[in-house]
Chain A
Amino acid sequence: MAIDWQHFTPWSALAGGALIGLAAAMFVLLNGRIAGISGVLGGLLNPTRGDIGWRVAFVAGLIAAPLAYRLFGALPVPRIDAGTGALVLAGLLVGVGTRYAAGCTSGHGVCGLSRLSPRSLAATLAFMAAGFATVFVVRHVIGL
C-alpha cells in the first residue's frame, strides 16, 4: 500500500466530516429523524400523508448546497470518470442495495456508527468491503 500524500487533505476532510455530523445532529435533535439520504429519498417513492414535505426539503437542501458553497469560496469541481453504462449500472445497484440494506453511507455509516449500532456496523463493513473489492477488480484485475 502506498499513500497518496499529494491528494491527502486531512483538514478539509475532518472539517467537512464535522459539518456532516452537525447536519445529522441537527436533524435528530430538531426533527427526531435519522439523516439517511437513501431513506429520505426512497421514502418519496412510497409517500404517506404529512411525510412528503420534509423529505423534499432535505433533498432540496442537498441539491442547493453547491449554490450556497459559492458564497464561501470556489466550488471544487468533481471528476467523474465513469461512462454512461457504468453510471446506469452503478446507480441501479446503489438504489436497490441501499433500500434493501435500509441505509447507506449516511444512515448506517454516519448516524448508525454514531448510535453505536451493531447492525449499522455490519452494513458499513459490508459496503466498504464491497467498495474496496470492486475498485480492486476494476482497476487492478480488469485494468480499466
Chain B
Amino acid sequence: MQILTSLLAGLVFGLGLLLSGMADPAKVLGFLDLAGAWDPSLALVMVGAIAVGLPAFALARRRSQSLLGASMRLPTVRRIDRRLVGGSLLFGIGWGIAGFCPGPALVALGMGLAPALVFVAAMVAGMGLFETIERRRARERARPPLRSP
C-alpha cells in the first residue's frame, strides 16, 4: 500500500512541477535573474505549495503514526551548521548554472530529454561522491589511533 501511495505522491508532485513551470529550466532561470527581465511566477509556486503544506504538516506533527499506520518520520535535526549552509550554497550554484533542481530534472528525464539525462547522471554521481566521502570519514573515525613503534 505504501509503495502505491509513494508512486501516487511522486506522480502528483511531478504533475505539479509540470503545471507550475518548475520543470522548465528557462523559466527557473528567468525567476533567478533578478537583474534582468524578472519572472516572479515561481515565488507563487512556493506560496501555493506552502498554503497546502502548512495544515498538513501541522496535523502530521500531532500524530505519531501516519494514516496508513507507518511511523511518522519528521526531521529532528535543528542544527544550522557549515554542512547545511555550505551544501545549500553549492546546490544553489548548480541550480543557477543549469536551472535544474532534483525533482524537475527527473520529470524532464521522463520526457526523454537528453540534457536531462546528462544532468541526472552527474547529479547521481555527485550523490555517490557524498556517500564515498562520508563512508571514508566514518571509517577513519572508527579506526583506533596509530601507535608509534
Binding site for B on A (CB under 8 A): 1-4, 7-10, 12-35, 37-38, 41-42, 45-46, 53-55, 57-69, 75-82, 84, 86-102, 104-106, 108-115, 117-119, 122-124, 126-136, 138-140
Closest A residue to B116 by CB, please name it.
A80
- Do A16 and B48 contact each other (CB < 8 Å), given the known contacts A1-B38, A37-B103, A65-B15? yes
Contact in complex: A17, B91 (CB < 8 Å)? no
Q: Which of B100-149 contact A (CB under 8 A)?
A: 100-103, 105-111, 113, 115-116, 118-131
- Residues in A neighbouring B4, C-beta threshold 8 A: 57
Residues of the B chain whose Cβ atoms lie less than 8 Å from the Cβ of A91:
94, 98, 100, 105, 118-123, 125-126
Number of A-B pairs whose CB atoms are under 8 Å? 502
* Minimum distance in angstroms from A92 CB to a CB of chain B: 4
Per-residue interface assignment for chain B, residues 20 to 42, with 1 indicating a CB less than 8 Å from any chain A CB and 0 otherwise: 11111111011011111111111
Contact of A16 among B7, B22, B65 (CB under 8 A): B22
Provide the main secondary structure of the chain A interface: helix
Q: Which residue of A lies closest to B112 (CB)?
A: A66
Least distance between B41 CB and chain A CB atoms (Å): 4
Question: A77 contacts which chain B residues (CB < 8 A)?
Answer: 111
Inter-chain CA distance A51–B45, complex, in Å, is 30
- How far, in whole Å, are A29 and B146 apart by their CA atoms in the complex? 49
Pick the residue among A122, A127, A136 that contacts B35 (CB under 8 A): A136
Min C-beta distance of A60 to chain B, whole Å:
6
